[in-house]
Structure 1
Amino acid sequence: MASLQEVASQIRRDIVRMVHGVASGHPGGSLGCTEYFTALFFKVMKHDPSFNMNGTNEDLFFLSNGHISPVYYSTLARAGYFDIKELATFRKLNSRLQGHPATHEHLPGIRIASGSLGQGMSVAIGAALSKKLNGETDTTVFSLHGDGELDEGQNWEAAMFAAHHKVDNLISTVDWNGQQIDGPTAKVMNLGALDKKFEAFGWHVLVLENGNDVDAVVAKLEEAKSLTGKGKPIVILMKTEMGKGIDFMEGSHEWHGIAPNDEQLAKALSQQAETLGDY
């Protein structure tokens, strides 16, 4: 069986190949969140690739910052939700793998359309409350959000609601990479002390200093799971580097939403070993 590090490396290869193949997409945030998706789907989350839309008696995941669909699609394919070869159809006409995840094409693993930023936490809260109403006591709802996405006010309404209603089967993670489409978050809309903000809103806050260390991500997610059922929603503030793993993409908002050319693709692929077979 491939190690988590090998899976992450293959997912990075998938990401750059996908966005290159159609000359569009969002590689930066996808590369930065690769370890999170690897840890969640290949180690932490209880899920079934045969895919029941209702997700009864399973852990659920909701991607709020839907523009990082390349990492999501690669993870789903590598986890067995659909054929890996379908990754080659990314963003093409009539593809189920649209630029932002959508439900009307019935792609296994996708439960909500996302990419209209700020909405994912509200959906995740609804799913978590549904599980409580259905008497599920051993499942967890996970969600992922961009730090720039927190500019959207709906997030904070949802954060207040979750704490007030003690939605303690929810683990939301913020990709705290300090970058958004127009530049560093500190310049576009300074987020300040996110840990203190979420604490003030009534959440249990965990800070993950290196979200690009897959073992550290696993450990932090497991720690978060140990805090479920204790009366508070949980947030992981996960520090990552945009473009991680591809040296000329790392740390820059410039790669938020552009694709590598042929030469750049070759360089990117040379920096990540093929471990599971490209599509």
Structure 2
Amino acid sequence: MASAAPVPMPAVFAGWWERVNGSPAWQDGIFWALAALYGLVAASSFIQVARIQQRVPEYGWTTQKVFQFLNFVVNGARCSVFAFRRQVQQVNPQIFQHVILDLPGLAFFTTYAMLALFWAEISYQARGLDTDGLRSGFYAINGVIYAIRVLLWGLLWWNPNPSMLILSKLFVAGLSFSAALGFLLYGGRLFLMLKRFPIESKGRQQKLSEVGRVAAICSCCFLARCVMMCFNAFDKEADLDVLDHPILNFVYYLLVEILPSSLVLYILRRIPSKLRLSQYHPLSSG
């Protein structure tokens, strides 16, 4: 049986889509809107870092503070890229355009992988297992990922053909899929562990809700990134690296970075309580 022909877009909608994509004014407006949204998320992360530092300066660089700071860096970088998108598209040689566009995505992966690492450490500590291997493994995996990415950039510079570009985008898709699995694995483990705690445990219900919601948001976010990157690799009409696809850019970055980041930062908005004098236990001189 012959397959059914694809249903064409309504003429009015198709004309609007082409008009928006081809209009420099619409392109600039959408990219400036993305820059503004990323700027708001970056500003909220920076405010959280300042609040934590003011509340408990003696804690140093905790996981929470580093996570918030990396969110500030990632979203600030995306804000700058979209604010100067036309200038980025004119950078030569072209490989540097790929580096500028890809680096914030890698940093986004590292930022949220740190959250999965934190959950894994809690799960290991609760079972009395050593956590040193987790942190060293986290650094090693990130080092390998960045090394592979640099190698792909080098190959794309040396041989800039469509196949290398597809391979580069599929690498991001695979990375996103592995991140989604990581959140399902470690978030699920921590969620089940907290569920076994006694009902009267302090903060149990709040922590259960927090872990469950964040794990679900991050898993969906990275799965959506994986699917979109596969389309981006094989369909020229879904290319996110060009100026004349502003609507796709807006939908993609809103769904896989801006909205998930905003929700996660809102859920994790609590900051440590200020230490009281009675909470300090000085060591005895003996």
Pairwise same-fold verdict (TM > 0.5): no
Return the TM-score normalized by structure 2.
0.26
Task: Identify which of structures 1 and 2 has the higher relative contact order when contacts are C-alpha pairs closer than 8 Å and 6+ apart.
Answer: 1
Q: Would you tell me which structure has more helix in proportion to its own residues?
A: 2
Q: Larger Cα Rg: Structure 1 or Structure 2?
A: 2
Q: Would you tell me which structure has more strand in proportion to its own residues?
A: 1
